[in-house]
Amino acid sequence: MASLTTSVAQRRRAGRRPTIHDVAEAAGVSKSAVSLAIRNQRGVSEATREHILQVAQELGYRSNVWARSLVQGRTGLIGILLQDLGNSYHRDVTAGVEDAAVANDLRLVIGHGRRDAKRLQGELDSLLALGVEGVVIVSSWVPPQYLERIGRRVPLVVVGRLPHRVPGVDTVANRDEEGAKQAVEHLIGLGHTRIAHLTGSARPAAMHRRGAFSEVMRRTFPDVDPQVEGPEQLEAAIKYLVFQIQQEKGAPTAVFTQNDRVAADLVGACLDAGLNLPEQLSIVGYDNSSVCQMLRPQLTTVDQPRARMGELALEMLRERIAGRTDDKHITIAPKLVVRDSTAAPRG
Amino acid sequence: MASLTTSVAQRRRAGRRPTIHDVAEAAGVSKSAVSLAIRNQRGVSEATREHILQVAQELGYRSNVWARSLVQGRTGLIGILLQDLGNSYHRDVTAGVEDAAVANDLRLVIGHGRRDAKRLQGELDSLLALGVEGVVIVSSWVPPQYLERIGRRVPLVVVGRLPHRVPGVDTVANRDEEGAKQAVEHLIGLGHTRIAHLTGSARPAAMHRRGAFSEVMRRTFPDVDPQVEGPEQLEAAIKYLVFQIQQEKGAPTAVFTQNDRVAADLVGACLDAGLNLPEQLSIVGYDNSSVCQMLRPQLTTVDQPRARMGELALEMLRERIAGRTDDKHITIAPKLVVRDSTAAPRG
DNA sequence: AGATTGTTGTGGAACGTTCCACAACTGTTT
DNA sequence: AAACAGTTGTGGAACGTTCCACAACAATCT
């Protein structure tokens, strides 16, 4: 018991943050006047406002966010839940959200799942516990039923593809089918006919890319069965592809990969095997991440307007917070970026 | 006026978060009992605790962090201020801090400077406004005098090198001199004598690496003036280096770069110029970032125990929060990681 | 039986802020 | 002169929680 009272005493001692009372006392006005002054509201004269602000400055007063949000019933906090900060796609979306948040006087709190579904959910809980007014989720790993439950309590916008629509949850995504189509048609335009697809995921976005790949291939080359490798045993699939090419027996001359990460692995494996890129194999990635320009050859890829998607997500979240109740789903056109990893097939 | 009362009414209506009062009422006990139950404190019998918890669960009750921290005078929030999330070094340090924070029941709030000194300071202000109990700063871009001022109000630990020690601020850093020494001695051990240093920064860590490079070189080859390029006009410096090598006139046969990013640029330029790596040029980076294994040849680099540094930083921060007042500076040994970008010089 | 100790629970006072009704002025209009 | 309107300022009641002194009761010890 003694220790408890001591700790309170400690708190009250010297180092204590100055409160609105301290400022009021020092300035010789009421706490209400101080409150008005620091919030720049009318109700105090210009002269007293300046006086109060100066006193506040001298005391190093900084208003207590919790007390404020406690009485106002809002926190001005927005959460963003990320699957993987290491991925520049996620990072750029975040930057977009952040810029839009700052512009709207909202503070962004980052929750980071670190590629772990369990941790991701824990982080979402944390964000909610912090009292965020809405959450932008940049991940397709949160289970839909969980999403739906949370969505009933707090506005939610998902950036990316979900397995299916979830009532009460908005989404903004790029049209993966369109991006995949551009990639494959680029390869076809270069003269490739034996084109393979390499994927490392069975998540919705990946499946849409894969689906569009198959469709374009079937439509263009009706009598060829398009080769799709992965997502399981991706490493083995890459090895097998390289082996095929070395044998030259009707091997693919081009590969469209699910994303840049897979593309980078493929590039590495090809170079390790002594293949010449892009002469012996054309490669197209997806995401236009920062590695594209580090690799040699520089990677042809599909770019999504990531920052824009982030901005849109925050915009939709604000609408939700303001009271919109009908669901909204926005899709954005991706765009092929041609670099050095694609060329016409040999011969 | 009408609108104001309405807004309060709205807040009180249906969608309102259940409070401790609601749970108390529903469970037929006092709010104090609920408070004790949810915090797992003694003062309620096991039976009533279970009953209360079940009612709370049913109502979807979640305690309001703000109200709690308002009365407790502590928030359980720790801030981390990052210079650049894109850098895997920063990311890994963050992961270490995060793990340690979770283990100590603290919540981590990320502030992201996005490579902009002004934004960085703004983010630090934001963190303080949120009421964090301490901040881990992963950046050397915060001006020392600012650091000192903030450090008087809230515990601060810097991960990395500062221009000079700042009273009241702890640091944890890797011994850059030691890492640079290992890198250069590795190259010397391979038989290189003409070794250049390429740097893209004049910040403390970079300067220490550079200094150690020069010292080892001067000690080993007293009559050679060690070649240092950058940090200004880094791109031109890289071009010049490549040009030197193509001319073969006493050009460097190895380069120790300030970090992996610079090394990646150099590798790209060399490959674009048609050089063979590592035969014509050995390259050593610094940081062991994720690109190292994506590049071909895979990059020899210096690894810092990043996660460990993050853990240590949080540990020191907790000591500070608990009351330690004397400054503490920890340094950690880095370790060379040999990959494929270094080899004996030709001939 | 009375005193002591322990357990379980309660109600009210904080915490630092905003909101709101109202008070005290000072002008301006009827 | 009275009524009205506008400006400037005030004190008290919230907000949702924890803390704390204390009450009621049971069990144990003199």
Token reading at B317: 């921060």
B323 touches chain A (CB under 8 A): no
pLDDT-derived band at B152 (thresholds 50, 70, 90) equals confident
- Measured distance CA(B298)–CA(A58) in Å, rounded: 56
A311 touches chain B (CB under 8 A): no
B266 touches chain A (CB under 8 A): no
Nearest to B143 by CA among B125, B126, B166: B166
Count of all residues that appear for chain A in the document = 347
Strand C reaches within 7 A of the B64 CB: no
Strand C reaches within 7 A of the B65 CB: no
Going by their DSSP bridges, the two strands A156-159 and A135-138 should be labelled as parallel
- pLDDT at B114 > cutoff 70: yes
Nearest to A227 by CA among A242, A239, A212, A217: A217
Residues in A 33-92 whose C-beta is less than 7 A from nucleic strand C are 35, 38-39, 61, 63-64, 67-68, 70-72
Under the phi-then-psi rule, with left for phi > 0, alpha for psi from -120 to 50, and beta for the rest, what region is A333?
beta
Q: What does the mean pLDDT of chain A come to?
A: 91
Local structure of A283: helix, strand or coil = strand
Under the phi-then-psi rule, with left for phi > 0, alpha for psi from -120 to 50, and beta for the rest, what region is A315?
alpha
Domains of chain A, CATH where assigned: 2-63 (1.10.260.40), 75-174+306-332 (3.40.50.2300), 176-304 (3.40.50.2300)
- Measured distance CA(A106)–CA(B70) in Å, rounded: 21
Token reading at A14: 């010297």
Residue type, B122: G
Residue B107, beta-bridge partner list? B77
Residue B290, beta-bridge partner list? none
Burial environment of residue B96 by CB neighbours within 10 A (0 to 12, 13 to 18, 19 or more):
buried
Closest-CA distance, A57 to chain B, in angstroms, reads: 14
User: What nucleotide is nearest B20 when CA is compared to C1'?
Assistant: D16
* Distance D30 C1' – B42 CA (angstroms): 29
Chain C positions with any atom < 7 A from a protein CB: 7-12, 14-21
Q: How far apart are the first and last CA of chain B?
A: 88
pLDDT-derived band at A11 (thresholds 50, 70, 90) equals very low
Burial environment of residue A63 by CB neighbours within 10 A (0 to 12, 13 to 18, 19 or more):
middle
Nearest to B97 by CA among A128, A97, A88, A112: A112
Tokens 């042809």 correspond to what residue? A300
pLDDT-derived band at A9 (thresholds 50, 70, 90) equals very low
Which has more confidence, B58 or B181? B181
Which residues on chain B are in Cβ contact (under 8 Å) with A129?
Answer: 62-63, 65
pLDDT-derived band at A211 (thresholds 50, 70, 90) equals very high
CB spacing of A70 vs B66 below 8 angstroms: yes
Q: Which residues contact A5 (CB under 8 A, 6 or more apart)?
A: none
* Cβ-nearest to A128 among B62, B67, B107: B62
The highest-confidence range among A331-345, B18-32, B222-236, by mean pLDDT, is A331-345
Virtual torsion, Cα B339, B341, B343, B347, nearest 10 deg: 170
Strand D reaches within 7 A of the B17 CB: yes
Strand D reaches within 7 A of the B10 CB: no
- pLDDT at B185 > cutoff 90: yes
Bond prior to B334 in cis (omega within 30° of 0): no
Residue type, A129: A
- Measured distance CA(A191)–CA(A254) in Å, rounded: 10
Local structure of B284: helix, strand or coil = strand
Strand D reaches within 7 A of the B68 CB: yes
B91 touches chain A (CB under 8 A): yes
Q: Which pLDDT score is estimated for B7?
A: 33
Q: Which pLDDT score is estimated for B44?
A: 92
Within a 10 A sphere around the Cβ of A1, how many other Cβ atoms?
Answer: 5
* Span B1-17, average pLDDT: 40
pLDDT-derived band at A14 (thresholds 50, 70, 90) equals very low
Token reading at B108: 């981590």
Helix B144-153 and helix B117-130, axial crossing angle in degrees, nearest 10: 0
Task: Name the percent of chain B lying above pLDDT 70.
Answer: 95
Q: Which pLDDT score is estimated for B62?
A: 86
Under the phi-then-psi rule, with left for phi > 0, alpha for psi from -120 to 50, and beta for the rest, what region is B167?
beta
* Cβ-nearest to A268 among B112, B129, B294: B294
Estimate to the nearest angstrom the gap between the alpha carbon of B99 and the chain centroid: 13
* Span A15-25, average pLDDT: 86
pLDDT-derived band at B17 (thresholds 50, 70, 90) equals confident
Count of all residues that appear for chain B in the document = 347
Note the pLDDT tens digit of each residue in B115-133: 888 889 889 988 888 889 9
pLDDT-derived band at B1 (thresholds 50, 70, 90) equals very low
CB spacing of B153 vs A60 below 8 angstroms: yes
- Measured distance CA(B347)–CA(B343) in Å, rounded: 12
- pLDDT at B137 > cutoff 80: yes
User: Apex CA A155: angle with CA A154 and CA A160, to 5°?
Assistant: 130
Lowest mean pLDDT among A58-67, B285-294, B305-314, B330-339: A58-67
Give the count of alpha carbons within 13 A of A208, CB side only. Answer: 15
Virtual torsion, Cα B153, B158, B163, B168, nearest 10 deg: 30
Lowest mean pLDDT among A4-13, A34-43, B105-114, B262-271: A4-13
Burial environment of residue B275 by CB neighbours within 10 A (0 to 12, 13 to 18, 19 or more):
middle
- Measured distance CA(A35)–CA(A38) in Å, rounded: 6
User: Apex CA A29: angle with CA A23 and CA A30, to 5°?
Assistant: 85
Closest-CA distance, A332 to chain B, in angstroms, reads: 24
Burial environment of residue A91 by CB neighbours within 10 A (0 to 12, 13 to 18, 19 or more):
buried
* Span A221-242, average pLDDT: 93
Strand D reaches within 7 A of the B39 CB: yes
pLDDT-derived band at A308 (thresholds 50, 70, 90) equals very high
Tokens 């303080």 correspond to what residue? B128
Identify the DSSP state of A18: P
Within a 10 A sphere around the Cβ of B31, how many other Cβ atoms?
Answer: 14
- Measured distance CA(A192)–CA(A189) in Å, rounded: 7
**Helices H / strands E in chain A, number of each:** 13, 12
Note the pLDDT tens digit of each residue in A28-85: 999 999 999 999 999 999 999 999 999 999 988 888 888 999 998 888 899 999 988 8
pLDDT-derived band at B15 (thresholds 50, 70, 90) equals low
- Measured distance CA(A301)–CA(A283) in Å, rounded: 8
Task: Name the percent of chain B lying above pLDDT 90.
Answer: 73
CB spacing of B271 vs A60 below 8 angstroms: no
* Cβ-nearest to A85 among B67, B85, B130: B85
Q: Which pLDDT score is estimated for A65?
A: 87
Residue B311, beta-bridge partner list? none
Bond prior to A252 in cis (omega within 30° of 0): no
